[in-house]
Amino acid sequence: MALRLFNTASQQLEDFTPLNAPVVRMYTCGPTVYNYVHIGNFRTFAFQDILRRWLAYRGYQLDHVMNITDVEDKIIRGAMAENKSLREYTQQYEDAFLEDSATLRLQKPERIARATEHIDDMVEAIQALTEGGHTYVSEGSVYFRIATFPRYGRLSRLHVEGMQAGARVDMDEYEKDDARDFVLWKAQRDGEPGWDTPLGQGRPGWHIECSTMANKYLGDTLDIHTGGIDLTFPHHENEIAQAECISHKQFVRYWLHAEHLIVEGQKMSKSLGNFYTLRDVLQRGYSPEAIRYRLTAVPYRNKLNFTFADLDAAETAIDRLRNFALRLATGKFKEGKCPEVEARIARARAEFETDMDDDLNTAGALGAIFEYVRETNAAMDSGEFCAGNVEDAKALLSAFDRIFDVLTPTPREGSLSDAEVDALIAERQRARMERNFKRSDEIRDELAAQGIILEDTRDGIRWKRK
């Protein structure tokens, strides 16, 4: 079955094929670095990671660009309040974002582009729009006249007929359903930072940043553009208007939007004050893998309700998978290949792939894997699993983990590496053989203190992390 994705533009599931296979050209709206990113934001970034990984699984090669919004209304307010340069102010949050993304095992896009390093490109884009008759100047700022782009509002199904001609906004973000001429270039005022350009002293608006960088690195037509659902209007609508008025070509073939992470029915957001950063949640003792699991387990077009009980359940679910992996690695099974098991593995893989191809139905894919693990554990208990099935079973688990990436525990600070644990266990065995019980007890205590659990099984000693 082919990969199908829900395109916001058509409001339908569509078969996915890139324009120039095997390369997929994809653009993601990155963070606005004025504070720590919260886990609601990470829901959207985690969706993009699953999308990347699934495209790679299906043999595509990614050319993925993400911007860092490092000049914008909120950033300027924050930097001015702290008396810092833009760069000083944004760098700390950009670093934190990249660090948190790595903690959550989000693959890095092929290119990360900062808005402030593309001012000249944006100025050129605005000049091209002016040549095309799409702009006007008011009090030194340049605005996009949306009446010059009849398709305006199509992505978000907004009816713009009722709008006041010439009504405009200066803010980077504005209210839903408030279609207005939007600002491309803001004239400098009140000690705000600015760049000296042919458009005057000033700075770009938020919207021009994304379409300009997307087109610069990915060409006129992108395969995929992603973001959170709240970006559909006005941000993405404005990106389309800007890009298509310059290139006269379709800007984006597939628009994918992630639904919100919510807390008690409300969107998690900085302005509502109901947010947790990744650091907040880690401090409560949850593992990065559990958070990653939770953020990706709900299919991206469903709202994700955030609770700590669900994070506990995620820890348990991951444990079950790790125990299964350990059993595959260390269990002793009868010789040969059991055909029923072989068929069961093939069915689980087919179900997993079908669900992921179905608009990244992660809940279905996880369900298929857990059902298979449950049945296979039962087969092992009753001696109906064979040594000849181990390789296939391992291959399936690693295929699963290429996408979900939760099987390897994140080392806790100051913790022993796997090799160190193995060495200590071997030393403890030797100490016991030499009847040096003092040393063997010391090692047992040290391992226990590190949260390493030893199990004496028929097949020898095996261990796992708590």
Q: Which residues bind ligand AMP (CB under 6 A)?
A: 29, 31-32, 40-41, 43-44, 227-228, 230-231, 258, 260-261, 267-269
Residue nearest to ligand AMP (CB): 228
Q: Left (φ > 0), alpha (ψ -120 to 50) or beta: where does 133 sit? A: left
**Beta carbon of residue 34, minimum distance to ligand AMP (angstroms, whole number):** 8
Of Zn ion, ligand AMP, none, which one sits near residue 234, judging by CB under 5 to 8 A according to partner kind?
none
210 or 443: CB nearest Zn ion: 210
Q: CA–CA separation, 117 vs 122, rounded Å? A: 10
**Beta carbon of residue 256, minimum distance to ligand AMP (angstroms, whole number):** 11
**Beta carbon of residue 233, minimum distance to ligand AMP (angstroms, whole number):** 12
The SS3 call for residue 305 is strand
- How big is the chain by its Cα radius of gyration, in Å? 26
Q: Does 222 bind Zn ion (CB under 5 A)?
A: no
Of Zn ion, ligand AMP, none, which one sits near residue 397, judging by CB under 5 to 8 A according to partner kind?
none
Of Zn ion, ligand AMP, none, which one sits near residue 71, judging by CB under 5 to 8 A according to partner kind?
none
For residue 198, which amino acid is it? Answer: P
**Which of positions 138-157 make contact with Zn ion (CB under 5 A)?**
none
Q: CA–CA separation, 393 vs 406, rounded Å? A: 17
Contact 4, 16 (CB under 8 A): yes
Of Zn ion, ligand AMP, none, which one sits near residue 228, judging by CB under 5 to 8 A according to partner kind?
ligand AMP
Q: Does 443 bind Zn ion (CB under 5 A)?
A: no
29 or 403: CB nearest Zn ion: 29
Identified binder of Zn ion from the candidate list 5, 24, 26, 29, rule CB under 5 A: 29
Residue 325: both structure tokens together: 């992996």
Identified binder of Zn ion from the candidate list 210, 241, 263, 393, rule CB under 5 A: 210
Residue 378: both structure tokens together: 């039962």
233 or 372: CB nearest Zn ion: 233
Q: CA–CA separation, 140 vs 201, rounded Å? A: 9
Q: Does 33 bind Zn ion (CB under 5 A)?
A: no
Instruction: Give, as one character, the DSSP assignment of residue 88.
Output: H
Of Zn ion, ligand AMP, none, which one sits near residue 429, judging by CB under 5 to 8 A according to partner kind?
none
29 or 425: CB nearest Zn ion: 29
Contact 279, 255 (CB under 8 A): no
Q: Is beta strand 222-228 parallel, antiparallel or unpaired with respect to 252-258?
A: parallel
Kindly state the number of chain residues that form the binding site for Zn ion, as judged by CB under 5 A.
2
26 or 199: CB nearest ligand AMP: 26
Of ligand AMP, Zn ion, none, which one sits near residue 230, judging by CB under 5 to 8 A according to partner kind?
ligand AMP
Of Zn ion, ligand AMP, none, which one sits near residue 43, judging by CB under 5 to 8 A according to partner kind?
ligand AMP
Contacts of 411 (CB under 8 A, 6+ apart): 417
Q: CA–CA separation, 412 vs 415, rounded Å? A: 5
> Which of the ranges 23-31, 72-80, 109-117, 299-307 carries the binding residues for Zn ion, by CB under 5 A?
23-31
Q: Is beta strand 4-7 parallel, antiparallel or unpaired with respect to 12-15?
A: antiparallel
Q: CA–CA separation, 417 vs 440, rounded Å? A: 19
27 or 60: CB nearest ligand AMP: 27
Q: CA–CA separation, 21 vs 344, rounded Å? A: 33
Q: Please, is 105 exposed, middle or buried when counting C-beta atoms within 10 Å of its C-beta (0-12, 13-18, 19+)? A: middle
Dihedral, 448, 449, 452, 453 alpha carbons, nearest 10: 30
Of Zn ion, ligand AMP, none, which one sits near residue 31, judging by CB under 5 to 8 A according to partner kind?
ligand AMP
Interacting residues toward Zn ion by CB under 5 A: 29, 210
